[in-house]
């Protein structure tokens, strides 16, 4: 998405098919998302995460969240929110695009997409695989 700023730096790779960037703990091998920052980062190595996973849980965000921390548009539009399990890596909290609540099912295959959520700002989301 050219000319559109990410909601935060370092969340995904700069590739034609971007991947989220997690952190692998140097001693335990545990993977977390997002990659830790500050002092905690010294214990983690960046690791690109899988672009696909399965839907683990979901809900609908029907009202504008409290600001801060919500930094979205004033003209709030309800959205789907869920957890997607990336196999062998981590479970990621994410927006869900390209579906309605009634279409979602446990274990549904999902894929990463980048989406504009406010004018000039982009974030990541997952959508059902085609």
pTM comes to 0.88
Residue 87 belongs to what domain range? 5-128
Q: Residue 3 above 60 pLDDT?
A: no
Which value, in Å, is the radius of gyration of the alpha carbons in the chain? 15
Task: pLDDT band for 6, please (50, 70, 90 cuts).
Answer: confident
Domain count, the chain: 1
Per residue in 116-130, pLDDT tens? Answer: 877 888 999 999 997
Question: Would you say 12 and 114 are in contact if contact means Cβ atoms under 8 Å apart?
Answer: yes
The predicted pLDDT at position 120 comes to: 83
d(CA 130, CA 119): 27
Average pLDDT over residues 28-37: 96
Per residue in 38-91, pLDDT tens? Answer: 999 999 999 999 999 999 999 999 888 877 767 677 778 889 999 999 999 999
């Amino acid at each position: 998405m050219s000319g559109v700023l990410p909601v935060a730096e370092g969340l995904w790779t700069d590739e034609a098919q971007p991947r989220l960037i997690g952190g692998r703990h140097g001693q335990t091998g545990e993977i977390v998302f997002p990659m830790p920052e500050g002092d905690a980062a010294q214990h983690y190595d960046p690791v690109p995460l899988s672009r696909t996973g399965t839907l683990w849980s979901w809900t609908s965000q029907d009202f504008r969240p409290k600001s801060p921390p919500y930094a979205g548009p004033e003209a709030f539009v309800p959205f789907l929110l869920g957890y997607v399990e990336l196999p062998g890596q981590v479970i990621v909290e994410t927006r869900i695009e390209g579906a309605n609540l009634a279409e979602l099912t446990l274990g549904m295959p999902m894929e990463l997409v980048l989406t504009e959520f406010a004018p000039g700002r982009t974030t990541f989301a997952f959508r059902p695989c085609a």
